[in-house]
Amino acid sequence: MAFWTQLGLLLWKNFTYRRRQTFQLLIEVAWPLFIFFILISVRLSYPPYEQHECHFPNKAMPSAGTLPWIQGIICNANNPCFRYPTPGESPGIVGNFNASIVSRLFSDARRLLLYSQQDTSIKDVQKVLGKLRKLGNSSDLDLKLRDFLIDNETFSDFLHHNVSMPSSAVEELLDAGVNLQQV
């Protein structure tokens, strides 16, 4: 039997079946239309809203080192969404915490411990500990958050562009006092 003959017989059989079962034909047509109209009504009552693209701060994996991994967990615990690309999104950058206070403290401690064969390292450690004790005991120091940032650190740019804070609020934040005893 030829293809067109089989197709014609199949369509004729389908048409005859549908003509005899009018209630079933109405249900088969009305049910998808009913569901479609429900979808249209939901879409009209809850229109979609525009969401800007999200850039999340990068988080280092444990293979990048313990310090970047812990900093990625602690510093990005709330998982914020930023409008603009974050500094760590460029390829090849493991973390953007390299210039943070904690990283600098660990690198200084590592440098002191690695060069412990020199005679002056013990004296340097004692000097650093003495200065830390002085800082901890003196509450009359007027330290600002700005004092802990290095010159090229992008913290203020980060707050201004990614968090959309006005420049005046960023300046007030950078001029906020730091209590070393609480830190």
CA-CA distance, 75 to 50, in Å (whole number)? 28
- Among 82, 97, 118, identify where a domain stops: 118
Asked if the structure places residue 168 within a domain, the reply is yes
Residue that is written with structure tokens 């010159």 in the block:
151
117: left (phi over 0), alpha (psi -120 to 50) or beta: alpha
Confidence class of residue 134 from pLDDT cuts 50, 70 and 90? Answer: low
Residue among 136, 150, 145, 151 at smallest CA distance from 103? 150
Does residue 3 lie within any of the structural domains? Answer: yes
The residue assigned the tokens 């650093």 is: 128
The per-residue pLDDT for 105 is 74
Give the residue numbers spanning the domain of 128.
Answer: 120-175
In a domain, 127, yes or no: yes
Mean pLDDT of 49-55: 81
| pLDDT at residue 33, as a whole number | 95
Are 27 and 68 found together in one domain? no
* Average pLDDT value for residue range 73-83: 79
Domain count, the chain: 3
Of 102, 118, 134, the residue at which a domain comes to its end is: 118
Give yes or no for residue 13 having a pLDDT over 70: yes
In terms of domains, do 136 and 171 share one? yes
Q: For residue 9, what pLDDT band results from cuts at 50, 70 and 90?
A: very high
Q: Which of 4-13, 53-62, 135-144 has the highest mean pLDDT?
A: 4-13
Q: What is the pTM of this model?
A: 0.28
HSE-CB for 169 with a 13 A CA cutoff: 8
Closest CA to 160 of 89, 99, 88, 82: 82
User: Does residue 55 sit within a domain?
Assistant: no
Percent of the chain whose pLDDT exceeds 70:
62
Instruction: Inform me whether the pLDDT recorded for 95 exceeds 60.
Output: no
Same-domain status, 75 and 107 = yes
146 lies in a domain? yes
